[in-house]
Amino acid sequence: MFLGYAASTWISQPITAVLYHAEAGSAAYQQSFYGAIVIAAIAVVLTAYMMVSDSKKKSA
């Protein structure tokens, strides 16, 4: 169960470091949040794809 949390920590830290802009002031993490939204959207698409392919296998 905790492998997912560990993997997300290993992946998110380098991405956040790249997307962080210290000169942006209060909006320094804005790009990081956009990156998180993109990653979450990819996860939703992959989950939907896996659910559809699994239901096709069960019905066949």
- Closest by CA to 33, choosing from 20, 23, 14, is 20
- So what's the pLDDT on residue 27? 80
What pLDDT is stored for residue 42 in this prediction?
A: 93
d(CA 14, CA 27): 19
Percent of the chain at pLDDT > 70 equals 97
Q: Return the percent helix, strand and coil in the chain, to nearest 5.
A: 90, 0, 10
Distance of alpha carbon 29 from alpha carbon 22, whole angstroms: 8
pLDDT, tens only, 27-54: 888 888 888 899 899 999 999 999 999 8
Contact by Cβ (8 Å): 51, 60? no
Q: What is the pLDDT of residue 50?
A: 94
Give the end-to-end CA distance of the chain in Å, rounded to a whole number.
31
